[in-house]
Homo-oligomer: A and B are copies of this chain.
């Protein structure tokens, strides 16, 4: 099929099935076959393989992904002890600010939500653990970028470009590098409605003892509460304090 790439195409088909089920929630054999352009027998064989191994369940409404993925997902975020410490800090930040706090990690050139906690003034959010957003359009992502070697930043840009999510998203290459420089000087990042209109955030990168980036913490909230002294002084210093403590915890755990 794809002679160029040196991959296992049956595995790709299986992943296509998984992703289809991820999108549809539930799907019948014939639907899977049609949507993925496979013969019924092939779709059947793939679904049964995944089912036998416990990754798919066959319900009355069709096939669906099983909770096996919950185990794998939970594993990916507890594997790294630094993530667990970061999660505790997120709780603390959310409690102290009453806004939303989150910990994100860069993976495959995108920023992934690892953990998120909303304070009492909860803002309905469309983010959830595992969700991926462009690095250049999130406070944590920008903070992470600012501590990555330039070559890495270039590679990410080449792969994903600078998609605009709102009219305020950074879409210019030079502007991005200027902003990263700014973040390095300031020590923290600002995302002013770059992800969602009306939402502002401050972020800071978390590094280990060698200076390698682990992820980024951020605090976000609606523009009417994210301004003035709170936004310019209180939150940044809270965030930097939390990041600092976290880095110490990680280094000397």
Binding site for B on A (CB under 8 A): 5-8, 10-15, 18, 22, 25, 45-46, 48-50, 52-55, 57, 64-79, 105, 107-108, 112, 114, 128-132
Contacts and interface: CB of A to CB of B under 8 A. Distances in A.
Nearest to A212: B60
A22 to B, nearest CB: 6
A129 B74 CA distance: 7
B74 A72 contact: no
B5 A66 contact: no
A125 to B, nearest CB: 13
B8 A71 contact: no
A48 B130 CA distance: 21
Nearest to A17: B11
A48 B6 contact: yes
Number of copies: 2
B128 A50 contact: no
Contacts of A55: 15
Nearest to A68: B130
B5 A52 contact: yes
16 contacts: A6-B45, A6-B48, A11-B49, A12-B49, A14-B14, A22-B71, A25-B79, A65-B76, A66-B107, A67-B114, A69-B130, A70-B74, A70-B76, A72-B72, A73-B74, A73-B130
Given A72-B22, A73-B72, A74-B129, A11 B67 contact: no
Contact of A10 (B10, B25, B71, B72): B10
Given A49-B12, A72-B72, A130-B74, A67 B7 contact: no
A77 B67 contact: yes
Contacts of A12: 49, 53
Contacts of A73: 67, 69-74, 129-130
Contact of A46 (B8, B45, B70): B8
A115 to B, nearest CB: 10
A45 B7 contact: yes
B18 A14 contact: no
Contacts of A129: 70-71, 73-74
Contacts of A112: 67, 70
